[in-house]
Amino acid sequence: MSAKIEMLNKIEDLIFLEADLLDRKQWQNWLDLYTSDCVIWVPSWDSEEQLVEDPELSVNMMYLVGKPALEARVHRITSVDAYASLPLSRTMHSVTNIRLVEETSAILKVAAKWTVLCLDPRRGKIWRGGWYDYSLEKCQKGLYIHAKKITLMEDVIDGTIDIYQL
């Protein structure tokens, strides 16, 4: 097996594992996939064809910086304080078209397409989709997610979204 195919298999394994952990709501295992200085960004649409470009200067659908922000989000999802989100939606992620875009000695840039079926007890079936742009960090123990940009095709959300629904 060539080195590129082997690397693509590792990338796919990580991305598919992340989707499965979100669907199964295995929060701690999901958090373990991320680096301590990770970023998750869901930009908003500036116009019909243009996303906002700077998460620090723009309104975003979601912007979480550092693992403590992810841990706080998970705490909120799993606590009774998140009454607007309870009961949690059941989800089924489907990730396709995974491509290695760029590789350096320490970082892999990866792109993928995604759809998620959310079965919300209040709203019924909701389909969402878009693309993922990952920055994966190579470590001796394997690959970890350093950054994940989630582009959501919807520009207006009717209701709420949370990290596990994208």
Q: What is the domain extent for residue 106?
A: 3-165
What is the reported pLDDT for 84?
A: 63
Helix (H) or strand (E) holding 105: none
Tokens of 151: 């582009």
Q: Mind listing the pLDDT tens digit for each residue in 54-108?
A: 999 998 999 999 999 999 999 998 887 766 667 889 999 999 999 999 999 999 9
Contact (Cβ atoms closer than 8 angstroms) between residue 164 and residue 147: no
Q: What is the mean pLDDT of residues 155-162?
A: 83
SS3 32: coil
How many CB atoms lie under 10 A from the CB of residue 3? Answer: 7
Tokens of 61: 């659908």
What is the reported pLDDT for 159?
A: 77
Residue 126 carries which side chain, given as an amino acid letter?
I
CATH code where residue 96 lies: 3.10.450.50
The span from the CA of 16 to the CA of 121, in Å, is 25
- Helix, strand, coil percent values for the chain (each to nearest 5): 25, 45, 30
Under the banding of pLDDT at 50, 70 and 90, the label for residue 51 is: very high
Contact (Cβ atoms closer than 8 angstroms) between residue 109 and residue 138: no
Q: Mind listing the pLDDT tens digit for each residue in 100-142?
A: 999 999 999 999 999 999 998 888 899 999 999 999 999 999 9
Q: Specify the number of domains making up the chain.
A: 1
| Edge-to-edge order in the sheet of strand 60-65 | 60-65, 34-43, 142-152, 124-139, 107-120, 90-103
pLDDT > 70: what percent of the chain?
A: 96
What is the reported pLDDT for 141?
A: 93
Of 41, 44, 45, whose CA–CA distance to 64 is shortest?
A: 41
